[in-house]
Amino acid sequence: MNHIDTFDFMSSEQSARIETVLQEERIFKPSQFVAKEATITGLDQYQQMIASAKADPDSFWGKAALAELHWFKPFDSVLDWSNPPFAKWFDGGTTNVTYNCLDRHILNGKGEKTAIIWEGEPGDVRRITYKQLFDEVCKTANALKDLGIKKGDLVALYMPMVPEAAISMLACARIGAPHSVVFGGFSSEALRDRLNDGQAKVVITADGGFRKDKIISLKDAVDSALANKSCPSVESVLVVKRTNENISFVPGRDYWWHELINSKSNKCEAEHMESEDRLFVLYTSGSTGKPKGVVHTTAGYNLWAHLTFKWIFDVQENEVYWCTADVGWITGHSYIVYGPLSNGSTTFMYEGVPRPSNPGAFWEIIQKHKINIFYTAPTAIRAFMKSGRGIPDQYDLSSLRLLGTVGEPINPEAWIWYREVIGQGNCPVVDTWWQTETGGVMISPIPNAVSTKPGSATLPLPGIEVDIVNAAGESVQTDQGGYLVIKRPWPGMMRTVHGNSKRFRETYWEYLKPKNGKFIYFAGDGARRDNDGYYWIMGRVDDVINVSGHRLGTMEIESALVSHASVAEAAVVGKPDELRGESIVAFVTLEADKQFSDNLLEILKSHVVKEIGAIARPEEIRFTNALPKTRSGKIMRRLLRSLAAGEDVKGDTSTLEDKNVLDELRS
Ligand code: WT7
């Protein structure tokens, strides 16, 4: 076996993953892929694209932008990188994302084609053509204008997975109002923070949403977030009727969607947007502080969502594509809404999730709607694997042609199971690596061109320059672990952190400083590159944890815990979890007058749910009299990670201030 240089940052779980994947020798050739009119037909064309993007990136991206997008006014320059890390793409041009997603398809005679097929959790189905979607988007845009929304005003969405979520996003884009979608599973406290950070003027929500045989009260959460004038920027709330729950209405502030929108005109010209005008803000967790508002702009993001969707999924004219994400995450933005619609494809949206009362939900949908391309998360695949192939085997999955995964590293066993059981051995699996910050996929196989290896995201897409470096920013050798970085700007890159350009610069571009002074983008992941140049992602190397593909900052959870009156100090770490990738373990010390108890443990777990949302609920809370700290007062998380994983604490503990703490924690 090769020599493996593991960094200090890698957990034993990550090192174990390196060991496993190094032994992974199975290769699946691209010839097994069947698409009638593929965009990238094979290895030759793919290599040519890689070569021309490398030789002259500006010309590569410029040509793509002209070929793939409609421009009201063409751009003057492709990339302006004169003030790094602040990029300007396609400066001087004007376009509108909804023109690319709607108008141009209708003008091309595709008005009657189905844009969205939607199935609700209770089984209700809606099919929306491109022309109908256009009408709904225009009506909604006009309603937003009537509520006083102007170009540049922020509109927040806090919605279930209903077509109105996509319609609202597009309506905002139509009139140049950036949207900020807040996942419906976040609590009202988390919503309030995001509304205030973005200074949202309107909130679009629903009376409720169906989730796992239960109803979630979205409107109540909005009401609590806005209570006592705690979000002064919010002027109106638009409410979609979904569950028919009794909700309270504030006159003059709250409006029913159907009352406000149905009567509006279906004519609304697309606002001519500058390339760098904001399209949306989307909050994501980092290792420090509150979640940051990742800013994406119009043309570059549109191009990247469009191109990556086309290259990777290559949806054919009569095919149906389904991504199981929620629109509250970047995957939903890029690969339920913008990527598919910009390409004129049919995108399937599902309100439900598999649950004990319906474990075959996904397979039933694939059979019923003849899904051809299916994109989901490794955590879901591992859960299906655990409940056995007996469930999927009851369904006809023969419509499937291509399978994708995203969100976390996939273990080779789950990859093979996905390919064999769900793909029946003849669908390629594309493991796509990317982030909220990258706007779209960065590392992924191209089905017709690139051989796949189970557990590897394979190769960077054309025009994307990736490397693995050490802490000094120097490239490391083949098979050595290091930091995953991106070495040149790309159209879909985030432009800044909303309201905090300093944080943008420091977190992503100055974390690693190569000696040549160049700006390289630090992704926050550890990775390794093999002999064939294939990338194997090891997971986060910062204080971000990934629970079922949901990204959470340990510090956010710690702040939630210490905001409880009983808690003095808290340290949160991820613990390897077979199904969810990681689970949350919190070490907590209490205020002097407080007692440890099982009751308090449950109270604290619920407190975190109230502060952040159910996805942040700690799996375990361990009470302790003290946390392990260095002499300078820094919590030694490495020790806590080992303890949480039930491993022996290895490595240097000489900097530990009080050795007794470790003994106490062990017991
Ligand atoms: C983090 C980004 C991008 C959409 C979903 C998550 C992890 C993402 C993979 C993959 C290994 C992956 C990384 C990344 N991740 N895809 N294919 N293999 N890890 O977006 O919430 O911004 O999280 O998810 O750790 O940094 P996100």
Which pLDDT tens digit goes with each residue over 413-422?
A: 999 999 999 9
- Residue 2: per-residue pLDDT: 37
Query: Is 434 close to ligand 1, i.e. is its CB under 6 Å away?
Result: yes
List 597's β-bridge partners, or say none.
Answer: none
Query: Is 545 close to ligand 1, i.e. is its CB under 6 Å away?
Result: no
Query: Is 551 close to ligand 1, i.e. is its CB under 6 Å away?
Result: yes
How remote is the CA of residue 539 from the centroid of ligand 1, in Å? 8
- Residue 625: per-residue pLDDT: 93
Query: Is 379 close to ligand 1, i.e. is its CB under 6 Å away?
Result: no
Q: Over the stretch 603-652, which tens digit does the pLDDT of each residue have?
A: 999 999 999 999 999 999 999 999 999 888 888 888 999 999 988 776 67
How remote is the CA of residue 494 from the centroid of ligand 1, in Å? 15
The Cβ-side half-sphere exposure at 428, using a 13 Å CA radius, reads 27
Query: Is 375 close to ligand 1, i.e. is its CB under 6 Å away?
Result: no
Q: What is the dihedral of CA 286, 287, 289, 294, to 10 degrees?
A: -20
How remote is the CA of residue 416 from the centroid of ligand 1, in Å? 20
Question: Residue 31: which residues within 8 A CB-CB, separation 6 or more?
Answer: none
Strand ranges for 329-474 from DSSP E: 346-350, 373-376, 402-406, 429-432, 466-469
Identify the segments of the chain with pLDDT beneath 70.
1-9, 31-36, 650-651
How remote is the CA of residue 524 from the centroid of ligand 1, in Å? 10
- 607: nearest Cα among 554, 562, 545, 570: 562
- Residue 8: per-residue pLDDT: 62
How remote is the CA of residue 215 from the centroid of ligand 1, in Å? 29
State the amino acid at position 633 in one-letter form: G
Query: Is 377 close to ligand 1, i.e. is its CB under 6 Å away?
Result: no
Angstrom distances, CA of residue 349 to CA of 119, 270, 389, 395: 6, 25, 24, 20
- 468: nearest Cα among 2, 1, 4: 4
Q: Name the token pair of 78.
A: 């492709």
Query: Is 538 close to ligand 1, i.e. is its CB under 6 Å away?
Result: no
Write out the H or E segment, with its range, that includes residue 392: none
How remote is the CA of residue 221 from the centroid of ligand 1, in Å? 28
> Ligand 1: which residue has its CA nearest to atom 3?
435
To 5 degrees, how large is the angle CA 221–CA 615–CA 367? 100
Burial of residue 66 (CB within 10 Å: 0-12, 13-18, 19+) is middle
Query: Is 431 close to ligand 1, i.e. is its CB under 6 Å away?
Result: yes
Residue 551 alpha carbon, nearest atom of ligand 1? 21
Query: Is 535 close to ligand 1, i.e. is its CB under 6 Å away?
Result: no
> Ligand 1: which residue has its CA nearest to atom 1?
435
- Residue 5: per-residue pLDDT: 47
> Ligand 1: which residue has its CA nearest to atom 23?
435
Residue 432 alpha carbon, nearest atom of ligand 1? 17
Query: How does strand 402-406 pair with strand 429-432?
Result: parallel
- Residue 215: per-residue pLDDT: 93
| pTM of model > 0.75 | yes
How remote is the CA of residue 455 from the centroid of ligand 1, in Å? 14
How remote is the CA of residue 485 from the centroid of ligand 1, in Å? 14
How remote is the CA of residue 179 from the centroid of ligand 1, in Å? 22
How remote is the CA of residue 656 from the centroid of ligand 1, in Å? 33
Query: Is 537 close to ligand 1, i.e. is its CB under 6 Å away?
Result: yes
- Residue 505: per-residue pLDDT: 96
> Ligand 1: which residue has its CA nearest to atom 11?
409
- 579: nearest Cα among 616, 613, 546, 542: 546
Q: How far apart are CA 286 and CA 207, in angstroms?
A: 31
How remote is the CA of residue 544 from the centroid of ligand 1, in Å? 11
Query: Is 525 close to ligand 1, i.e. is its CB under 6 Å away?
Result: yes
- Residue 6: per-residue pLDDT: 52
